[in-house]
Structure 1
Amino acid sequence: MRIKSKDIAKELNLSPATVSLVLNGRPGVNEKTRKKVLDYMENVAMKEYRTHHNGVKEGMVVMINYMKHGIVLKRGKGSTILPIHMQMEEAVRKAGYEFKIIDYWEEKTEIETLIEELTIQKVKGIYILAAEMHQADIYPFLKLKIPIVVGDNLFNEQGIDSFLVDNEEGIARGVNYLVEKGHSNIVYLAENLNIFNFMERREAFIREMAKRGVNTSKRIRNLGNNVDEVYESMKKYLDEGVKKTSAFILESSVVSLGVSRAILERQIKIPKDISLIGFDALPPISLLKIELTLVKGTHTRRHLAAIKHLLRRIEDNETEIVRTYYKTRLLEGNSVFDKTKYIYHA
């Protein structure tokens, strides 16, 4: 059942605009109001579930947030019930199964305990958010002998279906954009975190620059794992002097926020003195003085697509291995200087 924003607003005595912000995961709403709306939606979903409970099959579909250090999950609001989770639950329920989200912390729980829990609960299929997983981490799940789909990682040898952002295409898009604007001295600013998406982006940057005959040995700089660390590291980098660098590619939203803060504090002009192009979306009010040019991947839609694909796996016993890449798009801001307009010939 689809509930309209105006109906929720009327029921909770809120404005439709406020409800819309919450349902779309946008900022600008206090946590108390956000929780009020999300709790209401969860209650509606549970009532709908109980109404149709007689059609539920025996078994459960589970989404697992797999964490080694938890940095990625914390940025994504953890296991807080979001509109996308309710859409996933609705899709699973329509297929006749129960839906559950599990946050698995590697350091807190033995993997055998989790596998036993999944067996007892008669889990029929698993979608794993696998950004923090290593290749060996998938093997315990294979013992369940049930359909598995992963997001943000690849397990080629194990033949597991994957839903991913096309990091290589995104980095190529960003580098090409900078080159077309006349930039050749490009540096890639990274986190210290070696998760799948970030490692793919770094490797793609090396390949893109190699195509242009550029040695990247000193063109990738690791800065930190949170905004404050990135900010402090970037200040030290600026103290060293960035030499002839004219543009930075920023690996993530964390890098974008920390780097921009350091540059603006030094009163370095963006984009005239240095150009910036980020990867991943930022909250609209994050950088008040900059409209950052961004390479943006899709997130929530591919997770819902992965769940629907998992349901087809469960029902149809498909044997073809699927790897689905979601292309990026470039959102032009005002953070890249077009040097081609200022090249004069004698």
Structure 2
Amino acid sequence: MSITAKELAKKLNISPAAISMALNHKPGVSTATRQKILDAAQKYGYDFTRISQKITVHGAVYLIIYKKHGAVVADTPFFAQLSEGITLGCKKENFNLKVTYIYEDEDNTERQIEDLRVSDCLGVILLGTEMTAADIRPFLKLDIPVVLLDTYFEELSCDSILINNIQGAYIAASYLIKKCGGQPGYLHSSYPIQNFTERADGFYNAIRAAGLPVSKSVVHSLTPSVEGAYADMCEILKKGERLASSYFADNDLIATGAMKAFKEFHYRVPEDISVTGFDDLPISTVIEPNLTTVNVPKKYMGEIAARRIISLIRDPHQPPVKTEISTTLVKRRSVCLAHSPQK
């Protein structure tokens, strides 16, 4: 027979009001007391289904957008759709959502993180796109549930929701090999983040699976923005560096910038050079030709992050899980049959 809240209060010698606040995730008790009550409730078999899953929660889920250099995390449709999914997921469960930015170059970063302890924060969804493992560790020291979004590190024990980058890059590169023949080149981001490292793994896995030599891959390092990639590729073309007949790009912005440069130097896309991107941003349907790219279900990814943090708020004793969101290839007109670059 399960224990009641009143019996739990008597057993712990804690007021029934404090028991109720802890079990219903309301403010008014210390973090240590709350954890003591939740541990005891689980130990003595308290029936957590007594608590309405739709109760209005006092406190909020915090979406923390961490900007290290800002070259990747920006006000783009990718992150807007992630945020939309998180908002929807929180709304479905009657949780408030607060969005805050942390900039690494500010002097008060440590204080901002520490302030979460005394705020109304019930749990953190941490956008880790530009972060390293060292950047994330201070958040994990807080006595607050944390879900890491859009990255993963083997050395960290925390929940992570991320794209299956290896799979996405693999299917894109394999498609280029099948459609274009020969060995695809790689438009690699000059900014090192975990997502791009994993996409590189997927690209080279496809090269190896096709029996092609990795050492023969033509790789250009480009800034991960449209204008940055355009400027970098123009310099490469001016120097007359060797080109591939097709390219996989780390994201759609790089692909778009490179295509702009190719056209300026009189290379036809896709007749002379085929290009695929990653992310399926709106720009991929606007540019001419439309960009073949890897679709990431961004809104769904945000919803999954919201569900997970709410689950951890309600039951913080769950073991960490890594959730990878699968991708699909969207075939458009930037890829054609076998060709070689020519002016």
The amino acid that maps onto 1:337 is C
The amino acid that maps onto 2:298 is H
After TM superposition, the structure 1 = structure 2 runs for residues 186-335 of structure 1, keeping only pairs within 5 Å, are 186-211=184-209, 212-216=211-215, 219-241=218-240, 243=242, 245-284=244-283, 287-335=286-334
The alignment partner of 1:172 has SS state of: helix
Aligned length: 285
For residues 81 and 273 of structure 2, the distance between their equivalents in structure 1, rounded to whole angstroms, comes to: 38
Q: Contact 2:255 / 2:277 at 8 angstroms: preserved in 1?
A: yes
C-alpha spacing 1:109/1:91, structure 2 compared with 1 (3 Å): farther
1:140 aligns with 2:128: no
C-alpha spacing 1:124/1:285, structure 2 compared with 1 (3 Å): closer
For residues 275 and 147 of structure 2, the distance between their equivalents in structure 1, rounded to whole angstroms, comes to: 35
For residues 194 and 169 of structure 1, the distance between their equivalents in structure 2, rounded to whole angstroms, comes to: 19
Q: Contact 2:61 / 2:124 at 8 angstroms: preserved in 1?
A: yes
In our comparison, the structure showing a higher alpha carbon Rg is 2
* Number of the residue aligned with 2:176: 178
For residues 308 and 154 of structure 2, the distance between their equivalents in structure 1, rounded to whole angstroms, comes to: 18
* Number of the residue aligned with 1:19: none
C-alpha spacing 1:180/1:102, structure 2 compared with 1 (3 Å): same
Shift of 1:127: 0.5
Among 113, 116, 124, the alignment partner of 2:114 is 116
Shift of 1:305: 1.2
The root-mean-square deviation of aligned C-alpha atoms, in Å, is 2.7
Shift of 1:149: 0.5
After TM superposition, the structure 1 = structure 2 runs for residues 19-58 of structure 1, keeping only pairs within 5 Å, are 56-58=56-58
C-alpha spacing 1:109/1:281, structure 2 compared with 1 (3 Å): farther
Q: Structure 1, unaligned stretches of length 5 or more? A: 1-53, 341-346
Question: Which shows bigger deviation, 234-243 or 139-148?
Answer: 234-243
Q: Contact 2:86 / 2:305 at 8 angstroms: preserved in 1?
A: no
The amino acid that maps onto 1:56 is T
For residues 304-339 of structure 1, the C-alpha deviation after alignment (integer angstroms, 9 at most, x for no partner) is 210111101111234232111111111111121222
For residues 153 and 186 of structure 2, the distance between their equivalents in structure 1, rounded to whole angstroms, comes to: 27
> Identical aligned pairs, as a percentage?
28
The amino acid that maps onto 1:230 is A
Bigger relative CO (Cα 8 Å, ≥ 6 apart): 2
The amino acid that maps onto 1:234 is M
Shift of 1:227: 2.1
For residues 221 and 303 of structure 1, the distance between their equivalents in structure 2, rounded to whole angstroms, comes to: 32
